Each structure stands twice: as C-alpha cells, then as structure tokens.
C-alpha cells in the first residue's frame, strides 16, 4: 500500500472510530493470524511445530497462544477493562479459559529463552483458545454503549494492533525459518524526487482524541529547519552503487559500531536477485547510515520524517519500514500505559523506524506510529530514505 496515495483511513478509523471499525480490525487481524498459522502448520506439523532457538524469534506455537492470552488478559479477564489507560495493570484477574496460560504466555514473566522449553498444548488447542477468547472479546465489545468512550475501547484497539504486530512478526520469522507464507510482493518505486520541506513549527506526536500508543505521547511543538528529503525510500538500484564501489569493505563509510557489526556479520552484501527498482529491504541501520555517508546524504530525524509524511504531497511510504537517525526515547512527559512492557524497557536500546511495509496491517500503518528495533536487525522489512546534508 502506498499510504501517500491511498491514505491511512483504516488506521485512523481504528484509532478514532467507534466499535464498528474495532470489530472489523479484530476480525481482519484474526483472519491473517489463521492464514499464517495454516502456512506454519504445513511446514512444521511433522516436527510438532519445533524450531531451533533464535534470539530474534519466538516459538511459533507460543506466538499463537500469546496472542490469545494477551487479548483475554486485557479484556475478558480484566475487571478494569473499561478504565482504559487508567487501569491498574496489577489488578487481580479472573481465571483463564486455559488453565496454564499465565505460566506459558505472559511475556512479562516468561523469559525469552525458556519459551522453547515449555510443554505447550498442541496446535489444535491453541486454535481453540484463539477462537474462544475472540468470542469473549466480540461479545464484550457488542455490549459497550453505542457512544463508547476512548477508555472503554482502549484495550479492544490495543489488542487488535497487538495481533497485527504479531502477524507481521510471523511473516519475517517465516523468512528466517524458510517457511513460505502468503504475502504481498514488493512494488516498483516511482522515480525519486527531492521534496523541499520549509522551516516550520510542527506538532510531533499524537494529539487526536481516541487511541495512541504511550510512546507517541505527549505531543509537542518542535521547530524544524528547512530540509530536503527523498520522495521515495532508497531503491536497490541506488543502493547497488555503494556495493559496487566496495562500500562493504571500506571502514571509511561506517560508524565504529557499524564497522564492528560488519566485521562480525560477514554475509554477502544484500540485494542479489532483487528487483532493482523496488525498495532496498532487510537492511540494518548500520548499512543505511553507511550508504548515506558514501552518498553524501543523511538519515531523517523522527520529526522530519513525520512532518514530511503529513505535510508533503508526493511523499510515498508503506514500501518498507524506514530507519531514522534517532534512538528510541520517550517524548517529554512520557507516562507508561498499563501494558508496561510495550515502550519503557526498550528506551535507549533500539532505533526508531517509521512508515510501514508490505507485511504491515493497514490497521497499524499510521504516520505517527513509532516502530523500534535494535540497529543490527536485518530480518525485519527495513530500508531507509535519505535527506540532503544541508538545508535548501
């Protein structure tokens, strides 16, 4: 989806609309979850869904149970569900539909490595748990008043978006595991243009009524100097110049951290066999930064990316997640929402990406949304766009 041309109406409807768009999002994300589960089952049933340990993955069967558990924990089992962001995350919960679910699927308590050692129920039981918890969720959503408040809808929206994130994770996990899953093909980019963004005061972050992730708050006015930014992310054909010039073997273009990563990750430079006019993808932040140095360009800041996406005609996004120049940090006045592990544990250790990719649910793709990963990650569908070093 090119969100410059088609907008981001689904994401905005989920964030600000009533129960109707929320129900539609819950059903659509569940359909995608089950479609991916079918592909995983075809590849993994013979091995009992077992996969080798990888710190960038979760066990696929655990993923299915976690999606159901998260939804049940925050909605059907949560006596304070209607309080939204005012909910006490530690308030006592009703029993689960699945007796062992808290000891299996609570990602706040179950250490990552130990998830491979859990004696989980089989895939059929996980599908039943998914179905039963969604049934509870939809029944509770139906009971809300016609003019439900943002707080009353908060956890329903959160759970739809949480499941959309896990569906995307299942797609890049499948690539790592060599599993074929249904996904959209990369789209050819339009010719790149230089967009000249004037100096301005810009409102960074979410300020609309409705849903926002805690790390998008508090919105703030920031002063942005005039800058020039590409209308499109960097294509494989543009990235190939750096590869052909020996950029992967020249420490001049890399930060110290990036060069250390390059020395450790001695894989072949990426892009072989890719359509040259599609967005360069599965690149680390180190590779994005090195290309920019080589090309005499720079990565945009978060505020520049968001400003251009919201104010500049011709700014095309949605091809790949795009690395920015900034670490993932809280905005001034940050207050954690009830799902405490969503943002705060990762501040200062991740890099911000903006936009969306071909595997991103349209319910999630929003220009205010802040994605974040460790800068060395190449499994996620990440690329970048560049800015001129000097203001125009």
Q: Which long-range contacts (CB under 8 A, 24 or more apart) does 125-129 make?
A: 125/98, 126/61, 126/64, 126/65, 126/68, 127/34, 127/37, 127/64, 129/64, 129/65, 129/68, 129/69, 129/97, 129/98, 129/101
Judge contact between 350 and 198, C-beta under 8 A.
Answer: no
75-90 average pLDDT score: 98
DSSP per-residue letters across 238-267: HHHHHHHTTGGG-GGGS-HHHHHHHHH--P
203-219 average pLDDT score: 95
DSSP H or E segment with residue 52: none
59-63 average pLDDT score: 98
> What pLDDT shows up at residue 269?
83
* Contacts of residue 34, Cβ cutoff 8 Å, sequence gap at least 6: 127, 130
> What pLDDT shows up at residue 4?
62
C-alpha separations of 380 from 117, 360, 376 in Å: 25, 11, 10
Q: What are 360-390's pLDDT values in tens digits?
A: 999 999 999 999 999 999 999 999 999 999 8
CA–CA gap between residue 109 and residue 106 (Å, rounded):
6
323-327 average pLDDT score: 98
**How many residues can be counted in the chain?**
392
Residue 87 has pLDDT above 90, yes or no: yes
Confidence of residue 231 (pLDDT cuts 50, 70, 90): very high
Topology of domain 194-388 in CATH is: 3.90.1580
Sign of CA dihedral 23, 26, 30, 31: positive
Q: How many CB atoms lie within 10 A of CB 249?
A: 9
CA 271 from centre of chain: 22
> What pLDDT shows up at residue 3?
67
Domain boundaries, the chain: 3-177, 194-388
CA–CA gap between residue 161 and residue 380 (Å, rounded):
18
* Contacts of residue 390, Cβ cutoff 8 Å, sequence gap at least 6: none
> What pLDDT shows up at residue 352?
98
Residue 391 has pLDDT above 80, yes or no: no
Q: What are 219-229's pLDDT values in tens digits?
A: 999 999 999 99
């Amino acid at each position: 989806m090119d969100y410059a041309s088609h907008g981001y109406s689904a994401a905005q409807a989920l964030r600000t609309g009533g129960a109707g768009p929320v129900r539609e999002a819950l059903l659509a994300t569940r359909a995608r979850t089950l479609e991916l589960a079918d592909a995983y089952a075809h590849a993994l049933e013979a091995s009992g869904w077992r996969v080798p340990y990888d710190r960038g993955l979760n066990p696929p069967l655990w993923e299915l149970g976690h999606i159901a558990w998260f939804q049940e924990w925050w909605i059907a089992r949560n006596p304070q569900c209607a309080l939204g962001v005012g909910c006490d995350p530690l308030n006592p919960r009703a029993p689960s539909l699945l007796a062992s679910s808290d000891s299996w699927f609570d990602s706040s308590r179950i250490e990552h490595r130990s998830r491979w050692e859990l004696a989980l129920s089989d895939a059929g039981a996980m599908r039943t748990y998914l179905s039963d918890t969604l049934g509870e969720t939809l029944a509770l959503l139906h009971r809300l008043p016609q003019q439900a408040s943002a707080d009353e809808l908060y956890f329903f929206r959160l759970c739809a978006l949480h499941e959309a994130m896990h569906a995307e994770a299942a797609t890049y996990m499948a690539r790592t595991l060599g599993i074929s899953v249904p996904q959209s093909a990369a789209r050819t980019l339009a010719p790149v243009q230089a967009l000249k963004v004037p100096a301005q005061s810009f409102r960074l972050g979410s300020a609309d009524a409705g849903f926002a992730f805690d790390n998008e708050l508090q919105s703030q006015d920031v002063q942005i100097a005039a800058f020039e930014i590409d209308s499109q992310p960097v294509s494989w054909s543009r990235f190939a110049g750096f590869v052909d010039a020996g950029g992967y073997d020249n420490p001049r273009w890399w930060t110290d951290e990036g060069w250390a990563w390059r020395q450790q990750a001695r894989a072949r430079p990426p892009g072989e066999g890719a359509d040259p006019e599609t967005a360069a993808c599965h690149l680390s932040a180190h590779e994005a930064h090195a290309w920019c140095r080589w090309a005499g360009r720079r990565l945009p800041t978060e505020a520049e990316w968001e400003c251009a996406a919201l104010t500049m005609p011709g700014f095309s996004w949605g091809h790949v997640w795009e690395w920015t120049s900034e670490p993932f940090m809280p905005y001034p006045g940050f207050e954690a929402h009830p799902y405490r592990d969503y943002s705060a544990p990762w501040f200062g250790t991740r890099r911000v990406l903006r936009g969306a990719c071909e595997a991103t649910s349209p319910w999630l793709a929003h220009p205010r949304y802040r994605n974040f990963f460790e800068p060395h990650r190449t499994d996620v569908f990440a690329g970048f766009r560049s800015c001129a070093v000097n203001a125009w």
